[in-house]
Structure 1
Amino acid sequence: MTSLRSAHHERLRRPSRLRSLRLGDTTVTYVPDGAVQLTPRGWLPDTTDETWERHCPYLDDTGHLVAGIGGLLVERGDRALLIDAGFGPQSLPAEPGNAHGAIHGGALLDNLAAIGRAAGDVEAVAFTHLHIDHLGWALHPAPGGVGRALPRAGYLVAEPEWNRRHLLEAHGTSEDMLNALAPYVRTVADGQEVFPGVQVRFVPGHTPGHAAYVITGGQRRLIAFGDAMHSPIQIAHPEWSAASDHDPAQAAEFRRDLVTELARPHTIGFGIHFADVVFGRVRHGADGPSWQPVDA
């Protein structure tokens, strides 16, 4: 038991590698692009120093929460959908006063190739929201500078997210970025099926039009919940909202519902920023709900 706990703690301190699950005829794969370090009290401002003394396994050797950045590839037969598009081939240094530290990306296309997929295989990118660490390769040209990095992909955005996109400029998504996306954007409605077995669900709070995607296959379903949560510690504390949440109270309300839903039978969650435990389910124990990694 001690060795299992130690291995789990080690995974909380590093960004995820490529990880895949099968859902019947559908394969879902976390495709890493990079990582960012989050300052624990800056990112989750309702926490205290005592909080992190009690929960030190969530922090790396520099005292940060580790958050991976990437996308979720959904494959069914020859078809491929990407949920979110990483940060892209760029890096930003840590700056004093920011709730996050250094952030870097650039590995997504290479990791797609490692699982046998070319960028041109992706028929659409379905965004959970339009923050820059999810837009990534949708904004960058292909290596060599000719055409788009994801040349065939349309961009699927929740209708309220696109209609209120001007509010995202305060979080770094500039008007120029939004204008670059616009020719390829198709808005989607709550409950719409955007790919075989993939349904969008509007869950505003982190942004005005934040979306989750429910992927059903075989006898299991997976909820890709985007930035509704940034760390598995929020499973036990859904009241802790992130500094970047547009509406913290609304975001916390959805997290409470999400924790309940993730505890249901045959339900798996996907937390894109959940260190190296991106796939998991909620289990209730004596100390309340917790995140249990799922690897198959």
Structure 2
Amino acid sequence: MAYSTIDRDERLRRPAGIRSVRLGDTRVSYVPDGAVRLRPRDLFPDTTDEVWADRPEFLDESGSLVASIGGLLVENGDRALLIDAGFGPQSWPPAPDGPRGAIHGGALLNSLAELGRRPEDVGAVAFTHLHPDHIGWAWHPAPGGDRSAFAHADYLVSEPEWAQCDLLAADGMAEEVTGLAARVRTVADGQEIFPGVRMRITAGHTAGHAEYVITSGGQRLIAFGDALHSPIQIDHPEWSSAFDHDPARAAGHRRRLVSELEEPGTIGFGIHFADVVFGHVRRDGTGPAWRPLDA
């Protein structure tokens, strides 16, 4: 189904709702939890005011980039995997400086219910990385209880990401690390974690950042986590985020990733991509661009 430029621009300025894509016998669904507003010049230090003046469709009425926060539900038969666990039932005011504006979560369990799933249906939660907006419901007590909603599940983390958990604890995330530790199972590069789902380690955003490649029905979907924060990076992969642990390495990976997303039968999933989380990369007159799916 086609959509107008006006529809596309509106979607770039709002958080995503529930969206699903079918890959053969596998269904993948975006599970909304909340949103964060980001200061574009602070998020992408290599951009200029002129860049954003030329691309106003990416900014809301406050001049912020709107980024979705949530997870990706992967379903195959009776089995279910969740990739990333949102921010959890909490909110933070805007940071006084830097990229982050106001951030909130809280909707993920209701979103799962709309998709016909309970937390106990999820056999494992896999993480792209261990930043707070990806692990919230995995460590934060669920409302009305003293355990996380997914305390029954395995928590799958790349080996190099978990190896730096002491650094995360020292950086103010001791409670989060403690909340995860009992459930963590580390995963090696290339390991299959669910039917048709493999982890691949793509360091740059963090030391052990992971992507998940989902293959079924002759198609593949790449859930690339925070390798890309905004669709604007598709045609500017050299723009690293202020959150990237190794900006040069992250940029190198983005260039390879954008080329891979152009390949036939390939869908991308950008967890922070406003309301255009699923898409293809296609060439236009000036280079590669994100083409959202209308799933």
Residue 86 of structure 1 contacts residue 136 of structure 1 at CA under 8 Å; is this kept in 2?
A: yes
1:118 aligns with 2:118: yes
Counterpart for residue 128 of structure 2: 128
- Against the structure 1 CA distance between its residues 176 and 3, is the aligned structure 2 distance closer, same or farther, given a 3 Å change threshold? closer
Counterpart for residue 194 of structure 1: 193
Matching of residues 86-101 of structure 1 within 5 Å: 86-101=86-101
Counterpart for residue 272 of structure 2: 273
CA distance in 2 between counterparts of 1:262 and 1:51 reads: 24
Residue 169 of structure 2 contacts residue 177 of structure 2 at CA under 8 Å; is this kept in 1?
A: no
Counterpart for residue 174 of structure 1: 173
Residue 121 of structure 1 contacts residue 152 of structure 1 at CA under 8 Å; is this kept in 2?
A: no
CA distance in 2 between counterparts of 1:96 and 1:177 reads: 23
Letter in 2 for 1:199: R
Superposed displacement of residue 141, structure 1? 2.0
Counterpart for residue 55 of structure 2: 55
Residue 16 of structure 2 contacts residue 274 of structure 2 at CA under 8 Å; is this kept in 1?
A: yes
* 2:175 counterpart SS class: helix
Counterpart for residue 25 of structure 2: 25
Residue 80 of structure 1 contacts residue 121 of structure 1 at CA under 8 Å; is this kept in 2?
A: yes
Counterpart for residue 142 of structure 2: 142
1:78 aligns with 2:78: yes
Residue 168 of structure 2 contacts residue 174 of structure 2 at CA under 8 Å; is this kept in 1?
A: no
Counterpart for residue 46 of structure 1: 46
Counterpart for residue 151 of structure 2: 151
- Against the structure 1 CA distance between its residues 50 and 121, is the aligned structure 2 distance closer, same or farther, given a 3 Å change threshold? same
* 1:207 counterpart SS class: coil
* Structure 1: tracts of 5 or more residues without a match: none
Percentage identity across aligned positions?
A: 65
* 1:125 counterpart SS class: strand
Superposed displacement of residue 295, structure 1? 2.5
* Structure 2: tracts of 5 or more residues without a match: none
CA distance in 2 between counterparts of 1:147 and 1:249 reads: 39
* 2:182 counterpart SS class: helix
Question: Alignment RMSD, CA only?
Answer: 1.4
Deviates more, 1:89-98 or 1:24-33: 89-98
Superposed displacement of residue 3, structure 1? 6.9
CA distance in 2 between counterparts of 1:73 and 1:166 reads: 29
Superposed displacement of residue 166, structure 1? 3.0
Counterpart for residue 65 of structure 1: 65
CA distance in 2 between counterparts of 1:50 and 1:82 reads: 39
Counterpart for residue 256 of structure 2: 257
Residue 140 of structure 2 contacts residue 179 of structure 2 at CA under 8 Å; is this kept in 1?
A: no
Residue 151 of structure 2 contacts residue 183 of structure 2 at CA under 8 Å; is this kept in 1?
A: no
Superposed displacement of residue 169, structure 1? 4.9
Letter in 2 for 1:89: P
Taking structure 2 as the reference length, the TM-score comes to 0.97
* 1:174 counterpart SS class: helix
* 2:136 counterpart SS class: helix
CA distance in 2 between counterparts of 1:3 and 1:108 reads: 27
1:241-285 per-position Cα deviation (integer Å, ceiling 9, x unaligned): 000100000000000000000000000000000000000010011
Counterpart for residue 282 of structure 2: 283
Letter in 1 for 2:180: L
Counterpart for residue 231 of structure 2: 232
Residue 21 of structure 1 contacts residue 295 of structure 1 at CA under 8 Å; is this kept in 2?
A: no
1:152-203 per-position Cα deviation (integer Å, ceiling 9, x unaligned): 2110000000012234357x66122112211100000000000000000000
Aligned length: 294
Residue 131 of structure 1 contacts residue 173 of structure 1 at CA under 8 Å; is this kept in 2?
A: no
CA distance in 2 between counterparts of 1:152 and 1:167 reads: 26
* 2:276 counterpart SS class: coil
CA distance in 2 between counterparts of 1:21 and 1:279 reads: 8
1:58-114 per-position Cα deviation (integer Å, ceiling 9, x unaligned): 001110000000000000001000000000000000132131100000000011011
- Against the structure 1 CA distance between its residues 24 and 44, is the aligned structure 2 distance closer, same or farther, given a 3 Å change threshold? same
CA distance in 1 between counterparts of 2:167 and 2:248 reads: 18
